[in-house]
Chains A and B, each alone.
Chain A
């Protein structure tokens, strides 16, 4: 059964896992992201500055971009079956260009009466550490 049909059938259950995604942002993507914002912070594009002045191991992946990926993780799972209504997250640890990151999540609460679903989401690094944990709320279409 297609994902959207299953959700539309209000058959979302606690413990359901969201599809994971591998993310490997490169310099070009990070540049375009910060350009779209008008963010000129050197830690995102000036490698000598990021490593020699700030002491980072590489170019720092922008925190709000990690947050955006949590939103995408929820929305891709929802499809047309529901609407993302809120998300909260925090950037706990930095990540750098060259790293492979993983997004994913699972359903932690379902309220059949209102159609509200709560989802725990995460960005993990290659070591499996959650660097950006979050909680999203969605309203299922009924």
Chain B
């Protein structure tokens, strides 16, 4: 069976983003909690960050000219794949420590795997990323592992 995955493509496994350090603010927590319809006072008041606040904290803040015409920012961790249509993927998040306003958090993302499977409708490419978020004391706060599927 032929493979879509060249050695050159597979050589991207292990590729890591530059560490990204951000400050957690009460204002950003409040915006996130309100926008998600959260009903818990500690989050609406910004006293603590709700689960998944890290999604907003570490979303790439790109400049206008770096957005594609459909408004998307290019994920620079990923190589160019021979299949491009994204299908549903999944993720797993571990919450290891609570997050509070004033915390400085550093995220590092790694491309941990690329593999293919042959489904009934043709080949599929899977890739996995591992996002690790640590505080300034070096303690791991959140870990997020994702799997995405391309067809």
Contact = CB atoms under 8 A, between A and B. Distances in A.
Interface bracket on A:
35 or more
A71 B59 contact: no
Contacts, number: 91
A25 B90 contact: no
B117 interface: no
Contacts of A29: 35, 37
Contacts of A40: 67, 71-73
B90 A68 contact: no
B28 interface: yes
Interface in B39-93: 39-40, 50-52, 55-56, 59-62, 67, 70-73, 88-93
Interface stretch (A7-15, A84-92, A104-112, A117-125): A84-92
B28 A87 contact: no
B95 A68 contact: no
B52 to A, nearest CB: 5
B93 A87 contact: yes
Nearest to B89: A90
B92 A86 contact: yes
Contact of B40 (A32, A41, A64, A76): A76
Interface residues of B, number: 32
A8 to B, nearest CB: 18
A67 B52 contact: yes
Contact of A38 (B34, B37, B52, B61): B61
A36 B28 contact: yes
Contact of B91 (A23, A67, A76, A92): A67
Interface in B17-32: 28, 31-32
B94 interface: yes
7 contacts: A43-B70, A75-B50, A76-B40, A86-B93, A89-B90, A90-B91, A93-B88
Interface of A: 23, 25, 29, 32-33, 35-43, 46, 49, 53-54, 64-65, 67-69, 71-72, 75-76, 83-93
